[in-house]
Structure 1
C-alpha cells in the first residue's frame, strides 16, 4: 500500500525516505555504479555521508531525474511517487 500523500511529509520522514532510496540504489550493482559515476562519490563517501542532508537531498534529486527509476523504486517500496519531490525540498532546505 502506498504511503500517504506528500503534503504531510516532515524532516524525519524525508530523511527516512532518502535512506530507503539509498538502500534501493545500494542493493543493485548497476544502479549503484551509475549513481556513483554521476555523483562522483565512492562507496566510502556514501557510507560516511549517508545521514547528511546534502547526500540525502542528492539521492532524491538523482531519483527524480530518472522517471523509470523513480517509478521502479516507488512500486517496489510502496511509496507514493508524489512524496519524493516534497521530501527533496525539505532536505535541500535543511542542508543549506
Structure 2
C-alpha cells in the first residue's frame, strides 16, 4: 500500500467512526479531540493515524469496519503502516 492508499482507508475509517454514535464519543474522549476536529483535521495524517490506532485496539471494531467496507481484515494494519509512526518497532 502506498501512502495515499493508507490515507484513503483511514478516511473511510473516519466516516465509519463518525456514523457510529456509540463509538465516536469514546474516540473523542480518548484523544481529547472535539467533534469539529474530525471535519477540520480530516486531511491530517496524524489524526488519521490516531483513528486507525483507536480502531486497532479492539478486534471487534476491526472486524465490523472491514466487513462494512468490504475490506480484508488486515487492511487497517496495512493502512496504519503507511501513515506517520506506523512502522513496526524492531527490538532485535
More helix by share: 1
The aligned counterpart of 1:60 is 52
1:50 CA displacement: 1.1
1:93 CA displacement: 4.2
Detail structure 1 runs of 4+ shifted over 3 Å in the superposition: none
| TM-score scaled by length of structure 2 | 0.86
Give runs of aligned pairs for residues 22-37 of structure 1, distance below 5 A: 22-37=14-29
Offset from partner CA, 1:36-58 (integer Å, 9 cap, x none):
11111111112111111100111
| TM-score scaled by length of structure 1 | 0.83
Q: CA RMSD in A?
A: 1.4
Q: How many residue pairs were aligned?
A: 86
The aligned counterpart of 1:77 is 69
Structure 2 stretches lacking a partner, 5+ long: 87-92
